[in-house]
């Protein structure tokens, strides 16, 4: 158990809908990362937050947004969903948000868009 929790575990929804994925980091970790893993593109970095502020942005679509709250949990919002958004979404956390930090991954949320 990494200490990172993600909810929900599974999500099935329809095209055009909006969903929110939630992540709670390990106790004491200030940085949260979001990743998307699809069958055709592998793991992709979406976005990173550190202590409530956006630190880095990767291949995140404009339809997607995220935030980190004062209690350090984070939410990833996906809107106007398309079939191609079906994927595993992982959250990870680390202590200082540096590229040299070890990251601890949550169990993932499997999103299916029908």
Partner 1 sequence: KNEVEQSPQNLTAQEGEFITINCSYSVGISALHWLQQHPGGGIVSLFMLSSGKKKHGRLIATINIQEKHSSLHITASHPRDSAVYICAVGSNTGNQFYFGTGTSLTVIP
Residues that bind partner 1 (CB under 8 A): 2, 33, 42-45, 48, 55-56, 58, 88, 90, 92, 98-105, 107-108, 110
In the complex, the smallest distance separating the C-beta of residue 109 from partner 1, rounded to whole angstroms, is 11
C-alpha–C-alpha distance, residues 105 and 90, integer Å: 7
In whole angstroms, how far apart are CA 74 and each of 22, 67, 84, 91?
Answer: 6, 6, 23, 9
Nearer to partner 1, 22 or 55 (CB): 55
Nearer to partner 1, 6 or 79 (CB): 6
Nearer to partner 1, 27 or 100 (CB): 100
C-alpha–C-alpha distance, residues 60 and 64, integer Å: 6
In the complex, the smallest distance separating the C-beta of residue 16 from partner 1, rounded to whole angstroms, is 27
Question: Which residue carries 């191609």 as its tokens?
Answer: 84
């Amino acid at each position: 158990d990494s200490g990172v929790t993600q909810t929900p575990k599974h999500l099935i929804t329809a095209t055009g809908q909006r969903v929110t994925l939630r992540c709670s980091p390990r106790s004491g970790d200030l940085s949260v990362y979001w990743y998307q893993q699809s069958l055709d593109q592998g793991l992709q970095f979406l976005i990173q937050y550190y202590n409530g502020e956006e630190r880095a942005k990767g291949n995140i679509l404009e339809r997607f947004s995220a935030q980190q709250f004062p209690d350090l949990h984070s939410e990833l919002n996906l809107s106007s969903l398309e079939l191609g958004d079906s994927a595993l979404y992982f959250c990870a956390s680390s202590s200082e948000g540096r590229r040299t930090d070890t990251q601890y991954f949550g169990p993932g949320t499997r999103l299916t868009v029908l």
